[in-house]
Structure 1
């Protein structure tokens, strides 16, 4: 309660002598500094919006255009071919009355300069979009580049030579083209030909031609209509129908994991590892918010990739629905949600508008680890609702988590920057059976105990008792490379930039007035507890059905695969298909041998 009283900015009481007003200058200072941080973020967004809005030009280029136009006019020449005079004639009457003729000419010239500048920006952006629509470079033979591609590369470099922000290319990226229906049908028939007999293939060809000439053409017109106004005609459908409309568990089926360093553990102190990891993640979020990250490009080329998936990396959760889930994203969050031994906490990571130091976050995490309070009834395994089927979770959420303390606590989890699990197990490549323990490590990151992760969050960080770490990511908001870049930055910043003291603790000082991490309060009725048990049963059966084997592979990597002129992704896909073929083929062969032996 002491922290709650300190948070009150002012108090007043009415006494016989009058009103007694007491101000808390510390609280007012906290409010002021938090407001300053908020306004700095707003100013930064406005500034970045301006820079992105004029890319590939720069805001300062307007000044050069304006100076050029005014200099030309000073030399008794009209570069606008009469447009400046027409603009001057249509100026508001108030300007005619308040400005001299020379002032009116100056204003008209600045208006013309601005219009010319905007026209040049649109032209440059259009040219960049045309250049990025060129795809012939992908089909060039190795070592033999066409003259067109040789000219194309420096032109793209020229138009994108300015240092871009993370989202600078978004308005210049070409729309996803709609393939011709004839090509789609032709490729489909080519893919199924090896699987069908001559009679079956003839029937499939007739069905495909009938589809193309009737329903297919009508659907193709709808698709082209959508592609006119949507930058990517398939992304929203893909997100909803491949991911969000799935009613089965997202644990294992959708969520995936990322591991820590295999052979190195920077510290064995759990709270310290959590302190640095949380700090590194928040530093990455700062870079995303400020758009300081370089836009990703196709490896080895100048082609930028879409960066839209970075927008929902933090402060995002997948909320369940009866028919479809919804991705909810908040612009900012000053806290993270923490789970430890069945209890949920809200951990504020900003104090007076500043990010807490790694040592301060470690101190707060240690407070959570040392908290002896037991879980509330029904709290310990509440996370199983996010691991089971989606419809029961949606129904429970609507009925029991839409008001009161449950809503406030659920909001604290869903609005958090991300979720942190302080696991009471030890994991990693350790002991006498490092590879066997690696399997256990992978399964723990994939599903844990089926209730100690919040699978709806964009990602959950797991910090183990022995200092190993990892993360579990929800798939619908982004593809794996986006999360991989985040995790690589986190591991590198943790180990090589933030570092640890000699005794394994985080560096920095601790502010003694830090408030205690806030314990989340729940009121879980029997109906919800019953559904938690049911969801946990479903999730546990799914987890038990996962046979996970992870092993270090040292023979070769992506470099050698690329030397064979094949994509590493395609190489792995072919390997998986070959392995599946060999497994199923050997099973069929064994079954045939057993049947032959039985008959003989």
Structure 2
């Protein structure tokens, strides 16, 4: 049995002669090495904190300033303009052979140099923050960059040069600005105009103007005060009220999934794929801890906020009766694994050394070969994380607060991440969209009890070596996990590799202790709670219709020939497809990021505009000339791109209104306008998945190394969730979700409308399509 191989540092027995200690030298050696490793990490964090704290300065630049000051003194040039002498006079009179006038002079020059150096760092940081507050470059047409923007770009590049670490720019990033209430109200009314008839619009307009004139000024003052005091006036409330306070299941409703490469297969050995991937993930974690990952830079010069990456590993969402909390640990040396209804704890290190991929493969194969059955109540235990949050919180407090259950639960919640070894096989078939759709369903919810939905992410590996992620949403947004995933896929494919038989490279260490089987004592009352959570989760999962497909007729390359952004092209196609599907327009959500600001997360782009609605109506009528349709499309595209830029630069609509609503609740006042705004359903929720963010490999050289991105569940019961990835020059992947219980939606039908809408818009510009 696996649990018989647990490592013990020492044993003792009581005998008539006293206490007999039997020490294990091997175990003590590992304890010693582990302690050394912990101290190394502390020292690395201290060093990184110092280097990050003085960026863009460095110890070398400090030494240069000191040498310049001392050198000028020897040349009888006082560059301090008397400050060195002033500091020297203020030094306490010393005693002893080392307190000579020469040493006091050197000390004074060192103090002056340090002050000048620190002042220079402060000046450079404030200047960089001021420069990064300029966003005019985003609104300039491609190829028409102004002289001012060119000078700005040179200045930013000079101030952000050197070798920045992951968090070097955090204190130089500007704060997210609070928009004017009048601007937000105007943009809001403009966004809902195509959705309302005249009577409905005038009602909405009256509510908005009344709010703007009476209640908004008071709420805005509190919000501005918070923006002065807090690092970001949105992010903490967004995390708490949108994610952590939700009491409905996070499975489907919040968590999202990410897919593997679909056109290539590195190995079909399940344990081998897992060995390489887990090793790569912990290598990435080590780089995160040491801040060796370069910050993401827009245009190669504008830094993005990196704070979300801090909680990628060692993080678990802990349920509460009213609100959940995110538990993040500084370190975790194991992963938790689920297979055939059993839970295991797998150590990632031997002493201070990370296990090699072949050793990890051995450990995972031992789990696959373990014939032991699940303990009573163990098989469906993870369904607790898939059901209601309040029910899970109550069960956790009642049944998992002491004894073996607490120890086993701690092993899962304190793991670096969760691993699910599935018994199914999934793949992608170009001739059968059902394969990709089933693959997505397996990652989105599985069988409702083979994922630990509370972990920051669950790594799912199928029996044929295919894999994917199920990711909890509260700790970060999708682009953050995308960095990790691109690193994993690139490293696995191009750096680690496999043998001819599909195993990890190297020779395994068979002396490694076996994985530890977690022990549970789950009473019948708890088993009943688990079953109820499972039934809730199963009903939710069974209601999700997911349709995933690969659009092969054209991609980014041919869209650009229409002289528009690929994202605007797809968003307008979605509006056309939705109108054909439902016969009306709806409130549309597109996620954009605000990471050019400190601790920025997301903002909403309201993609259904008057311009896009005018284009769609003209297309549906079918009586307009092609030139007129082209003109309407360009206006809609330009409007969408402008809205996206406004959202990215802090001038969005929805986060501002959301925060005003939170302030109103704190003040105990109610606004009919805000209540209506916050209750409006997003019947079309969309998101673009970015690719090749960290450039692990050249997609032009390896065109088959395509991952389709991922997807999420529908936001509204009678709506669609659409995620898409414009994957290179000739491919677009779509993930469409809806609910079977709605008679108004059908994911596959909507997917067919999207296909046709893309083709119809391309035909307007006479863009030739590739052979299908």
Q: Same fold (TM over 0.5)?
A: yes
Task: Tell me by how many angstroms 1:304 deviates.
Answer: 1.0
1:46-445 mapped onto 2 (5 Å cutoff):
46-94=46-94, 99-298=99-298, 300-429=299-428, 434-445=432-443
1:486/1:87 Cα in 2 relative to 1: closer, same or farther (>3 Å)?
A: same
Which one of the candidate residues 574, 583, 586 is aligned to 1:585? 583
Corresponding residue pairs, total: 586
Residue pair 1:250, 1:387 contacting (<8 A) in 2 also: yes
Task: Tell me by how many angstroms 1:224 deviates.
Answer: 0.9
Residue pair 2:10, 2:21 contacting (<8 A) in 1 also: no
> Distance in 2 between the 1:463 and 1:486 partners?
16
Counterpart in 2 of 1:595?
Answer: none
- Structure 2: gaps (5+ residues): 586-619, 621-742, 745-772
Task: Tell me by how many angstroms 1:20 deviates.
Answer: 5.3
Which one of the candidate residues 545, 548, 552 is aligned to 2:546? 548
Counterpart in 1 of 2:496?
Answer: 498
Residue pair 1:357, 1:509 contacting (<8 A) in 2 also: no
Task: Tell me by how many angstroms 1:98 deviates.
Answer: 5.2
2:261 alignment partner, SS class: coil
1:93/1:27 Cα in 2 relative to 1: closer, same or farther (>3 Å)?
A: farther
**Mean Cα deviation higher: 129-138 or 571-580:** 571-580
Counterpart in 1 of 2:8?
Answer: 7
> Distance in 1 between the 2:100 and 2:15 partners?
63
Task: Tell me by how many angstroms 1:586 deviates.
Answer: 8.7
> Distance in 2 between the 1:567 and 1:171 partners?
32
> Distance in 2 between the 1:114 and 1:12 partners?
61
Counterpart in 1 of 2:509?
Answer: 511
Task: Tell me by how many angstroms 1:364 deviates.
Answer: 0.5
Task: Tell me by how many angstroms 1:205 deviates.
Answer: 3.1
Task: Tell me by how many angstroms 1:217 deviates.
Answer: 0.8
1:402 alignment partner, SS class: coil
Extract structure 1 runs of 4+ deviating beyond 6 A: none
> Distance in 1 between the 2:563 and 2:41 partners?
46
Residue pair 1:95, 1:104 contacting (<8 A) in 2 also: no
1:540/1:238 Cα in 2 relative to 1: closer, same or farther (>3 Å)?
A: same
Counterpart in 2 of 1:598?
Answer: none
> Distance in 1 between the 2:223 and 2:212 partners?
14
Counterpart in 2 of 1:528?
Answer: 526
Task: Tell me by how many angstroms 1:91 deviates.
Answer: 2.3
1:408/1:572 Cα in 2 relative to 1: closer, same or farther (>3 Å)?
A: farther
CA deviations on 1:405-444 (whole Å, 9 max, x unpaired) are 11111111111011000001111125x9643222111110
TM-score between both structures, scaled by the size of structure 1: 0.93
CA deviations on 1:191-223 (whole Å, 9 max, x unpaired) are 233334445444433332222222211111111
Task: Tell me by how many angstroms 1:274 deviates.
Answer: 1.1
Task: Tell me by how many angstroms 1:178 deviates.
Answer: 0.9
1:421 alignment partner, SS class: strand
1:240/1:95 Cα in 2 relative to 1: closer, same or farther (>3 Å)?
A: farther
1:552 alignment partner, SS class: strand
Please provide the CA RMSD for this pair.
2.3
> Distance in 2 between the 1:584 and 1:2 partners?
61
Task: Tell me by how many angstroms 1:30 deviates.
Answer: 0.9
**Mean Cα deviation higher: 108-117 or 198-207:** 198-207
1:27/1:83 Cα in 2 relative to 1: closer, same or farther (>3 Å)?
A: same
Bigger proportion of residues as helix: 1
> Distance in 2 between the 1:558 and 1:415 partners?
42
Task: Tell me by how many angstroms 1:130 deviates.
Answer: 0.8
1:154/1:370 Cα in 2 relative to 1: closer, same or farther (>3 Å)?
A: same
Task: Tell me by how many angstroms 1:59 deviates.
Answer: 2.2
- Structure 1: gaps (5+ residues): 592-600
**Mean Cα deviation higher: 493-502 or 119-128:** 493-502
> Distance in 1 between the 2:62 and 2:16 partners?
63
1:201/1:563 Cα in 2 relative to 1: closer, same or farther (>3 Å)?
A: same
Residue pair 2:340, 2:374 contacting (<8 A) in 1 also: yes
